Chain A
Amino acid sequence: MPAQTTEILDLETLASRIPNGARIALPPDYSGCAMAAVRALMRRPVRDLHIIAVPAGGMQVDMLIGAGSVARVEAAAVTMGENGLAPRFTAALKSGEIEMWDATCPAIQAGLQAAEKGIPFMPLRGIIGSDLLRVRPDWKVIDNPLAEDGRRDPIVILPAITPDVTLFHALKADRYGNVWIGVRRELMLMAHASRQALVTVEQIEDVNFLEDPVLAAGTIPGLYITAIAEAKNGAWPIELSGAYPADRTAQADYVKAARTADGFAQWAAEVVHDRVPA
């Protein structure tokens, strides 16, 4: 993994760096979702993505499935939250259009932690007796080799998850590519574990966050960030903590439209290919 200087790109160029077939890590709807970049991916359209939802997927996952951009989803869940089931995800599983790797939240986090440490696997409690072990042959059960008194202590081990790329949106970056994420430290985990991290931000500031100890504590160093791009309202219609709330109307409109493939196509024609909110 080369530790080059972080590039500063425009939004479309940043999105173009995600190749077809990429294993891409995406944050949940309560963290920073790079929705403007996701719409750019849909306009291309990108193909055959393996999405790793960290740990659950929402609107961006459903949109990418609707656009035909997804081959496989690895997630603890895909849901539209208070708006109910994710319509295109649900339809794609019914038709067999996408492959599903069901998981549980801490298993995805543990797999990323293994990648972060450069080790092959991470053990995790629980899961034994769950059908997840039947549908995830890559998850194994071993006997804890350090168990006391020769007792049997079966424990699950999970392979490291090393995404090709992480894509998210944050409030701000500095011109050195340091990205401030505050308490949203799953973004830190994702950036550490991935070969590349592409980040959109509301603004790029002409300072160095690492010189301020208060900001530095919530900052991903540019060391892990491949490229940044400015995107105003880049998380819309998802909330961006500290900046703007979720656009609940736009989310509800999406869920309603995306119940059918035709409804989704009409929604995409308007929101993805045409109208960009100010």
Chain B
Amino acid sequence: MTTVASATSAVSTTEIMIGAIAEMLAGLSHIAVGASSPIPGSAALLTRARSGGRTRVSVLGSRENNPFTDGGRELFDCAGQGRIDAFFLSGGQIDGGANINLVGVGDVGDYPRAEARFPGSFGSSYLYFVVPRVILFREEHTPRTLVEEVDFVSAPGTSPPEVYRPGGPHALVTSLCVFSFDRNRARFTLQSVHPGVTAAAVRAATAFDYDASAEVPQTPRLDAEGLALLRSTVAREVAETYPDFARRHWGV
């Protein structure tokens, strides 16, 4: 479905997710975006557009928004030194301890055979430890993706105190809601539900346990100015790296 989004057309779920992620990025100096991350990439570029030049964004796979000149390893070296404030990870499965699985579904004892094989861990097993604010994102919010326990730990949500770990999970954004993550308790809290979604619907779609207050607020929408910026300048910047995504959502 191709639609040309105008400043007045209805806010999509994708735009709600982008807005929620962008809110978590405000004020950061350096945001990096990895492979296959169009929603976080859009949020990062929106944050930059609204930062008045204070925020740097590095998008893997981009020519125009990738400052690195020392090859594929530079992003990781940069992160290892603490030069990257925020990064984004997803998972074929994510569990209540914020453990993520990018390898496959099935008994780990059968590895490498899997009932369903995902592409692989990419840089997650490293970046989850060294980037201070890792935001998890997963559009599909079902008991199949948000599981009680992941089948394979690509990267653990938390670590014992002796393990060097300045980084870790900050929040999880899905097509239904936003969860915040408490690293000390290794547990998610339902922070907000997207417009039209109830807290009960989130509970029904989530296989892991989490905390929630009696009254869960609604995820804030982007203001008119932010939405207009996203659908124009930012949409064109996103199209350079994610042409199919930008065409599908904004017709650019």
Contact = CB atoms under 8 A, between A and B. Distances in A.
B58 to A, nearest CB: 13
A102 B245 CA distance: 28
Interface residues on B, range: 35 or more
Interface in A124-144: 124-132, 134-135
Contacts of A151: 162
Contacts, number: 153
B246 to A, nearest CB: 11
Contact of B117 (A94, A103, A132): A94
Contacts of B245: 82
A100 interface: yes
A130 B72 contact: no
B164 A125 contact: yes
A107 to B, nearest CB: 7
Nearest to A130: B125
A56 interface: yes
Nearest to B76: A106
Interface residues of A, number: 56
A106 B71 CA distance: 11
Contact of A105 (B61, B108, B117, B123): B123
B71 A188 contact: yes
A106 B112 contact: no
Interface stretch (A152-160, A229-237, A270-278): A152-160
A77 B242 contact: no
A22 interface: no
Given A81-B36, A85-B119, A131-B108, A126 B113 contact: no
A81 B108 CA distance: 25
Interface string B139-161: 00000000000001111100100
A94 B163 contact: no
Given A106-B73, A126-B126, A130-B156, A78 B114 contact: no
A96 interface: yes
Contacts of A55: 72, 122-123
A32 interface: no
B121 A77 contact: yes
A130 B71 contact: no
Given A75-B120, A103-B121, A125-B129, A131 B72 contact: no
A153 B164 contact: yes
A134 B125 contact: no
Nearest to B69: A183
B159 A105 contact: no
B117 to A, nearest CB: 5
Contacts of A154: 162-163
Tell which of B36, B68, B163 has the most Cβ of chain A within 10 Å.
B163
B128 interface: yes
A103 B121 CA distance: 7
Contacts of B103: 102, 131
A125 B126 contact: yes
Nearest to B61: A30
B54 interface: no
Given A76-B121, A125-B80, A109 B73 contact: yes
Interface in A110-134: 110, 113, 124-132, 134
A62 B120 CA distance: 14
A54 B108 contact: no
A54 B52 CA distance: 36
B70 interface: yes
Given A82-B245, A105-B76, A106-B126, A131 B154 contact: yes
14 contacts: A79-B120, A82-B243, A93-B117, A100-B111, A104-B123, A104-B125, A107-B125, A110-B73, A126-B129, A126-B155, A128-B163, A129-B153, A131-B153, A241-B63
Interface of B: 35-36, 60-61, 63, 68-73, 76-77, 80, 102-104, 108, 111-114, 117-130, 152-156, 159, 162-164, 242-245
> Which 10 pairs show the lowest CB-CB distances between chains A and B?
A77-B120, A185-B71, A129-B156, A79-B119, A100-B112, A126-B126, A126-B129, A104-B125, A106-B76, A186-B71
Interface of A: 28, 30-31, 54-56, 75-79, 81-82, 85-86, 89-90, 93-94, 96, 99-100, 102-107, 109-110, 113, 124-132, 134-135, 151-155, 183-189, 241, 248
